[in-house]
Amino acid sequence: MSYIIDNIKASRIKYILGRLIKPFSTLFLFSIIIINPAYGNCPPPGPCLGYIVSSEVSSGKGPLISSIDSMKTQIEQAVNQANCGSTSCSTNTQQHSDDDAKATYDELTTWLRDNFWYDGTKGIGPSLRHMATQITTTNMAATGIIGTFFDAQAHIDGQRLINKLHADAHNKYQPSRALCRFGTNVRSLAATEELSEPTKYMIARRSIERQMGNSISMAAEGGKQDKKARMEKFRKYYCDHADNMGLLGAACEAPINNDRLNKDINFTKTLYSPSTLDIDFSDGTSSADEEDILSLANNLYAHNIFTRLSKTKLEYTDNREVFLDARSVMAKRSVAESSFNNLAAAKTKGTAQSAQYLKKIISELGIASETEINKLIGTNPSYYAQMEVLTKKLYQNPNFYIGLIDKPTNIDRQNAAMKSFELMQQRDIYESLLRSEAILSVLVETKLRKMHTEAEDELLSIK
């Protein structure tokens, strides 16, 4: 009988150990991986795995003891199945099996606690504790390596951003030579425009003084003196020996090969064709261009000036009304003359700040002679000549289109510079339209003057 019982015990122990392996492996992995926050006050090192196990065994509480209790239940069930194999066993046999299972369970738990888990330096507990310490140390070292990677990534990103900003600065803030040409050639434009204003005012003022008989004008005494002075100048400067079938030779004092021939009547030669005129009424000297412009103006406007009224004649009221009529004609004439004055002012010579650069642009177009360049735009180019170069001549050079192979930002800057010249040109067109509007309004008023006189006569005839 004892032999049979021993065999039964051996088979039950094998079965029990087989059932123990699975939950114990789970307990083993649980003890390595899971750190229970309830044991936060355990002594170092690491997750205090050995301390946790010993504490649970001594106190009888904790997840490890719960796992052992679970194993106890499984052992009891295994013993019952080994003894009975069915649910019809007797009470004595059941009690015997319970006592036997309890003894086996106590024996196993004692062995697990004292031998397998915590047998001085031979148990698995200290080894697991040391393993946990090594894993923690390794993880801390790996954390430092990972931190080094993060630091390297941040450094690389920062360096890449700096390089990108350097490239953007090189791309956006490095002006090209093509752009510099705009800034260089425009530097004297404003100063030259200011120089043209006195010319416009002086020509207009001189015309009014001539018509009004100002005491300092050559027409102070009237039409005879005015035409006599103009005739003398014609003979001296503008007379062409070949004119009038060559019969003017005896009357002409001007040289035969003279560039000023007929400039007092030739609008194209005197004013329209030249880009720059040597005009400066503030220097106290009279140039050939100044004399030519004034002579042309005399022939274009107020060829016949009004007769001068003596002091005695001005004392009569009726004569005063006639004098006012004459002034009205002069006012209308000044509106018509304003276009001539503005054109002459626009071609007044400018400053020398941009002259050499403007001439360089003309020379790149194939005009190599300095004399020809001066004839084309003048020694000191006028506002008219500078605007012609900046809005026309500059874009006739193939180098301009080659310069467009540039950074997009520089292309935008060139486009902005061209837009500024366009705005200036549109402003000049606007002012020209204002003058045209004024001339048209005066023309309409002149046409209405006859109708006004007829209506006034009808009003006076009403009884």
Alpha helices by DSSP H, listed for 173-309, are 177-185, 189-212, 223-233, 243-246, 267, 288-300
Q: Where does the pLDDT of residue 157 fall: very low under 50, low under 70, confident under 90, or very high at 90 and above?
A: very high
What are the structure tokens assigned to 444, written together?
A: 């309409």
Residues 131, 390: Cα–Cα separation, whole Å: 85
% of residues, the chain, pLDDT over 70: 78
**55 has pLDDT over 90:** no
Provide the H-helix boundaries in 173-188: 177-185
User: Which of 165-169, 261-265, 268-272, 347-351 is predicted with the least confidence, judged by mean pLDDT?
Assistant: 165-169
332, 446 Cβ separation under 8 angstroms: yes
Locate tokens 């001296």: which residue? 236
Alpha helices in 34-90 (DSSP H): 49-59, 63-83
Q: Which long-range contacts link 266-272 to residues 24+ away (Cβ below 8 Å)?
A: 266/296, 267/296, 267/300, 270/296, 271/296, 271/340, 271/343, 271/344, 271/347, 272/343
HSE-up of residue 339 (Cα within 13 Å, Cβ side)? 16
Q: What is the pLDDT of residues 312-358, one digit of tens each?
A: 888 887 788 888 989 999 999 999 999 999 999 999 999 988 899 99
Q: What is the pLDDT of residues 57-90, one digit of tens each?
A: 445 555 545 555 665 565 566 556 555 544 445 5
- Write the DSSP string, 400-444: HHHTTSS-HHHHHHHHHHHHHHHHHHHHHHHHHHHHHHHHHHHHH
Amino acid 41: pLDDT: 42
Q: The whole model's pTM is what?
A: 0.65
φ, ψ for residue 85 (rounded to 5)?
Answer: 80, -10
pLDDT in tens, 380-401: 999 999 999 999 999 999 989 9
Q: What is the pLDDT of residues 355-383, one digit of tens each?
A: 999 999 999 999 888 899 999 999 999 99
Please name the residue that has the structure tokens 């090209």: 176
- Whether residue 405 is predicted with pLDDT greater than 50 in this model: the reply is yes
Domain boundaries, the chain: 2-139, 178-461
